[in-house]
């Protein structure tokens, strides 16, 4: 259970690779937040949210994931993630991972890690809050944190049927290279009924399952809003976990 939920929040945020040449995203106001729910056996077991806030000189991207209901008997998670992305060139600057979780078959984890990206030098500096030690990790060009990638959803209007999209993500474990294929799909959603979407699908190796291969699918509306209405994970040995868009906030 612990590994599954960690994988969910990491891969929930995967979108195609950013490029310094693309246009800046246009938000309908200062900020936008998406709320998701995972339902199992007629009840909500996980809630999650993703948000983008426009500032100067950074975009602030946030994510939260919490277990709910009967899940708390076996595993509890209240994790928070923040990413500061430079407006100029949409390059990652700082990624903060706040982990607070406990499971009956795993140790309690409570820590905050701060990742400082230096794309020009091809490295990331990692420091755990309240500790002096700093770890330096070398990363390849065009590598981003998971939340920085989320901005791509609002930038890339050219994702169409048959496109292959390559990306590199670093979240503190290792660099993941993933290729998504975009296909058109019509799906039924909780908020908007049946809608036309673009589905991004990729096979991925899950660290928490011994690098066994699974599948991630992300559906976003095929229109100017590009709303990420559904996300699905096909996890090794565990089956499907589906995140359904439950509410959208604008401010």
Mean pLDDT for back-to-back runs of 10 residues, the chain (251 residues): 39 35 52 91 89 87 89 86 87 93 84 94 94 94 82 55 76 83 91 92 72 82 86 78 91 83
pLDDT score recorded for residue 47: 93
C-alpha–C-alpha distance, residues 171 and 165, integer Å = 19
CB neighbours of residue 41 within 10 Å: 7
pLDDT score recorded for residue 203: 82
Instruction: Determine whether 83 is exposed, middle or buried from the number of CB atoms within 10 Å of its CB (0-12, 13-18, 19+).
Output: buried
pLDDT score recorded for residue 1: 39
Please count the structural domains in the chain.
Answer: 1
Residue 74's domain spans which residues? Answer: 2-250
pLDDT score recorded for residue 162: 62
pLDDT score recorded for residue 2: 37
pLDDT score recorded for residue 138: 96
C-alpha–C-alpha distance, residues 81 and 62, integer Å = 6
Asked if residues 126 and 172 have their Cβ atoms less than 8 Å apart, the reply is yes
Quote the pTM value.
Answer: 0.81
pLDDT score recorded for residue 64: 94
C-alpha–C-alpha distance, residues 159 and 135, integer Å = 36
pLDDT score recorded for residue 169: 84
C-alpha–C-alpha distance, residues 243 and 190, integer Å = 11
């Amino acid at each position: 259970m612990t590994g599954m939920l960690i994988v969910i929040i990491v891969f929930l945020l995967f979108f195609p690779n950013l490029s310094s040449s693309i246009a800046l995203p246009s938000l309908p106001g200062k900020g936008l937040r998406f709320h998701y729910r995972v339902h199992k056996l007629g009840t909500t077991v996980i809630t999650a949210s993703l948000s983008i806030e426009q500032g100067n000189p950074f975009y602030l991207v946030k994510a939260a994931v919490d277990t709910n209901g009967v899940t708390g008997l076996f595993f509890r998670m209240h994790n928070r993630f923040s990413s500061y992305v430079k407006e100029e060139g949409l390059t990652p600057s700082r990624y903060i991972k706040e982990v607070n979780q406990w499971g009956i078959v795993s140790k309690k984890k409570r820590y905050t890690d701060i990742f400082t990206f230096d794309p020009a030098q091809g490295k990331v500096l990692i420091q755990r809050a309240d500790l002096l030690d700093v770890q330096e990790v070398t990363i390849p060009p065009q590598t981003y944190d998971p939340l920085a990638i989320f901005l791509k959803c609002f930038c890339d209007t050219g994702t169409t049927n048959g496109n292959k999209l390559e990306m590199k993500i670093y979240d503190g474990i290792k660099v993941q290279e993933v290729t998504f294929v975009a296909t058109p799909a019509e799906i039924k959603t909780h908020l908007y009924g049946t809608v036309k979407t673009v589905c991004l699908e990729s096979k991925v190796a899950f660290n928490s399952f011994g690098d066994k291969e699974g599948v991630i699918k992300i559906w976003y509306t095929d229109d100017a809003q590009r709303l990420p209405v559904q996300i699905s994970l096909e996890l090794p040995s565990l089956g499907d976990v589906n995140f359904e868009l439950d509410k959208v906030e604008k401010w």
